């Protein structure tokens, strides 16, 4: 694991004086549109700890938004990426190729669901992977419409802004958006009017009805969904929803795309979250956890679909950069060696147990309206006591209290009222429990 001592330690206020100084420089030099959850400047990070420039050590329940599942300085990632850096930094795969790119595509074919022939193309960011999945699906189907879901998040580029549900902060003042994007309901169990037990069947019927009546199934190139919706609030579509939508896609020649950028690579206790209901997507987009912190993304899918785009139609200068590919091979090696799926499942067991206890025992525990998620992708949805009214102030207050105590947590959700936990899968169980202690104590402040 990492050289960073695996213990929380606060030696200054959070943020400390050196971070405050850097933040002043940052405000003067960095565009205001780029935010930060916590203006604590990082010196080093690894395992379950982020050490800041003032020497504080924070427990990491964020993993840089579900990226550093193997830790932020995993031995195999550092070793392989360092060796690659010394050999060559770049040639451009479109100019002269290299083995690492091919090897990552081979690993993706092995690890993603389904035993059909698969191919991949590599890119830099999640948004770029989603954009390319749309290009590929359109080239294959010769159709144009793309269907996405309420609470969905797919990125910040023009097309992926159109695919993303939430206006603020992602879309406000940035339009006009790409055409031929249609949004339909998702089975959000906690907020489904007739209850979670009906959500899967009713929401899928409603979504399919809207696609059929408003768009026409044979105009649809792709249906894109996150098997666990991330930025939208860690929403697990109620059981039955994903299989019904996947079957509808299959029956109508629509490319079914699972956006596993946040949920993939052991995060939910399986290599991919769509495995939970036995879904085999036609295309799958991955990024984040794939490369241990180096920028890499991929579209993987049925060979005949992936090959539909003409030669030269897909690419980009840096797509599948050799150092990022080396990082990915190190990350995948670590996931296999440490059985990080099992670790994620254990994190779920510990977290859900402790959170349920908080919900039932704390004086204000009923502001936890819902505890959900899988593996190390766990969240609590905060509501006003005795209601289901979203309480974003409670989520923000809890996050602030955790930050002050040296626990990095993130919020999310369409209503901004979800506190989410995405620890590195390699976090020690002592740190995990210490983080949960801090969350428990934070409830006294809201
Ligand atoms: N698809 C499912 O979760 C990125 C975004 C944070 P990029 N999620 C974190 C922010 O505020 O920008 C994400 C995702 C899903 C696509 C993306 C986009 O991935 O690598 O950020 O482009």
Give the list of residues 6+ apart from residue 423 with CB closer than 8 angstroms, or none: 48, 60, 61, 62, 63, 347, 376, 432, 435
Q: Which two tokens stand for residue 71?
A: 């830790």
**Mutational pocket test of ligand 1: of 235, 261, 283, 298, the residue with most ligand atoms within 8 Å of the beta carbon:** 261
The ligand 1 atom nearest the CA atom of 169: 11
Give the list of residues 6+ apart from residue 209 with CB closer than 8 angstroms, or none: none
Ligand 1: centre distance to CA 445 (Å): 31
Does residue 431 have its Cβ closer than 6 Å to ligand 1? no
How many other β-carbons are positioned within 10 Å of the β-carbon of residue 93?
22
Ligand 1: centre distance to CA 153 (Å): 7
The ligand 1 atom nearest the CA atom of 259: 2
Ligand 1: centre distance to CA 154 (Å): 6
pLDDT in the model for residue 1: 47
Number of alpha carbons in the 13 Å side-chain half-sphere of residue 171:
17
The ligand 1 atom nearest the CA atom of 285: 1
Tens digit of each residue's pLDDT (9 = 90 or more) over 115-173: 999 999 999 999 999 999 999 999 999 999 999 999 999 999 999 999 999 999 999 99
Ligand 1: centre distance to CA 357 (Å): 31
pTM > 0.85: yes or no: yes
Does residue 154 have its Cβ closer than 6 Å to ligand 1? yes
Tens digit of each residue's pLDDT (9 = 90 or more) over 204-217: 999 999 999 999 99
Ligand 1: centre distance to CA 127 (Å): 7
Ligand 1: residue whose CA is nearest its atom 1? 154
The whole-chain average pLDDT of the chain stands at 98
Ligand 1: residue whose CA is nearest its atom 9? 65
**Mutational pocket test of ligand 1: of 262, 286, 377, the residue with most ligand atoms within 8 Å of the beta carbon:** 262
Percentage above 70 pLDDT, the chain? 100
> Could you tell me if 334 and 415 are in contact, meaning their C-beta atoms sit under 8 angstroms apart?
no
pLDDT in the model for residue 337: 98
Does residue 289 have its Cβ closer than 6 Å to ligand 1? no
Its CATH class, for the domain covering 17-73+339-445, is alpha beta
pLDDT in the model for residue 162: 98
Q: Report the alpha-carbon distance of residue 47 to residue 74 in Å, rounded.
A: 8
Q: Report the alpha-carbon distance of residue 446 to residue 441 in Å, rounded.
A: 10
pLDDT of 2 higher than 60: no
Percentage above 90 pLDDT, the chain? 99
Average pLDDT of 42-63?
98
Average pLDDT of 289-302?
98
Does residue 259 have its Cβ closer than 6 Å to ligand 1? yes
Does residue 276 have its Cβ closer than 6 Å to ligand 1? no
Does residue 40 have its Cβ closer than 6 Å to ligand 1? no
Ligand 1: centre distance to CA 130 (Å): 10
Does residue 123 have its Cβ closer than 6 Å to ligand 1? no
Average pLDDT of 296-325?
98
Does residue 130 have its Cβ closer than 6 Å to ligand 1? yes
Average pLDDT of 34-42?
97
Does residue 126 have its Cβ closer than 6 Å to ligand 1? yes
Does residue 287 have its Cβ closer than 6 Å to ligand 1? yes
The sign of the CA dihedral 91, 92, 98, 103 is positive
Does residue 63 have its Cβ closer than 6 Å to ligand 1? no
Tens digit of each residue's pLDDT (9 = 90 or more) over 339-393: 999 999 999 999 999 999 999 999 999 999 999 999 999 999 999 999 999 999 9
pLDDT in the model for residue 3: 87
Ligand 1: residue whose CA is nearest its atom 5? 155
Ligand 1: centre distance to CA 320 (Å): 18
Its CATH class, for the domain covering 76-337, is alpha beta
The ligand 1 atom nearest the CA atom of 127: 22
Q: For residue 180, what pLDDT band results from cuts at 50, 70 and 90?
A: very high
Q: Where are the domains of the chain?
A: 17-73+339-445, 76-337
């Amino acid at each position: 694991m990492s050289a960073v001592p695996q213990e929380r330690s606060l030696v200054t206020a959070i943020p400390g004086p050196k971070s405050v100084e850097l933040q002043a420089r940052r405000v003067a030099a960095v565009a205001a549109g780029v935010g930060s959850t916590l203006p604590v400047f990082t010196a080093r990070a690894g395992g379950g700890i982020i050490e800041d420039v003032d020497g504080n050590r924070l427990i990491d329940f964020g993993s840089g938004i579900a990226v550093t599942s193997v830790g932020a300085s995993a031995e195999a990632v550092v070793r392989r990426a360092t060796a690659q850096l010394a050999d060559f930094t770049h040639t451009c795969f479109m100019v002269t190729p290299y083995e690492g790119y091919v090897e990552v595509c081979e690993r993706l074919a092995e690890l993603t669901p389904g035993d059909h022939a698969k191919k991949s193309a590599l890119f830099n960011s999640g948004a770029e992977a989603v954009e390319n999945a749309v290009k590929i699906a359109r080239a294959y189907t010769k159709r144009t419409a793309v269907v996405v879901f309420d609470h969905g998040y797919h990125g910040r580029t023009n097309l992926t802004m159109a695919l993303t549900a939430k206006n603020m902060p992602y879309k406000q003042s940035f339009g006009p958006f790409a055409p031929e994007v249609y949004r339909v309901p998702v089975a959000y169990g906690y907020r489904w009017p007739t209850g979670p037990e009906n959500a899967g069947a009713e929401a899928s019927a409603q979504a399919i009805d809207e696609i059929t009546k408003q768009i026409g199934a044979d105009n649809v190139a792709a249906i894109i969904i996150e098997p666990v919706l991330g930025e939208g609030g860690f929403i697990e579509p109620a059981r039955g929803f994903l299989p019904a939508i996947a079957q509808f896609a299959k029956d109508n020649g629509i490319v079914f795309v699972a956006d596993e950028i946040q949920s993939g690579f052991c995060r939910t206790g399986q290599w991919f979250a769509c495995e939970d209901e036995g879904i085999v997507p036609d295309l799958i987009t991955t990024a984040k956890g794939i490369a241990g912190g180096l920028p890499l993304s991929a579209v993987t899918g049925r060979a005949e679909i992936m090959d539909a785009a003409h030669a030269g139609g897909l690419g980009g200068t840096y797509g599948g950069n050799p150092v990022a590919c080396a990082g990915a091979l190190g990350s995948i090696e670590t996931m296999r060696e440490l059985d990080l799926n099992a670790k994620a499942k254990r994190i779920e067991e510990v977290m859900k147990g402790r959170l349920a206890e908080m919900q039932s025992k704390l004086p204000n525990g009923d502001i936890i309206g819902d505890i959900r998620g899988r593996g190390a992708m766990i969240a609590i949805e905060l509501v006003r006591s005795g209601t289901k009214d979203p309480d974003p102030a409670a989520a923000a207050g809890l996050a602030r209290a955790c930050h002050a105590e040296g626990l990095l947590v993130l919020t999310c959700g369409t209503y901004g009222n979800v506190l989410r936990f995405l620890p590195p899968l390699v976090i020690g169980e002592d740190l995990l429990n210490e983080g949960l202690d801090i969350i428990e104590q934070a409830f006294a402040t809201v």
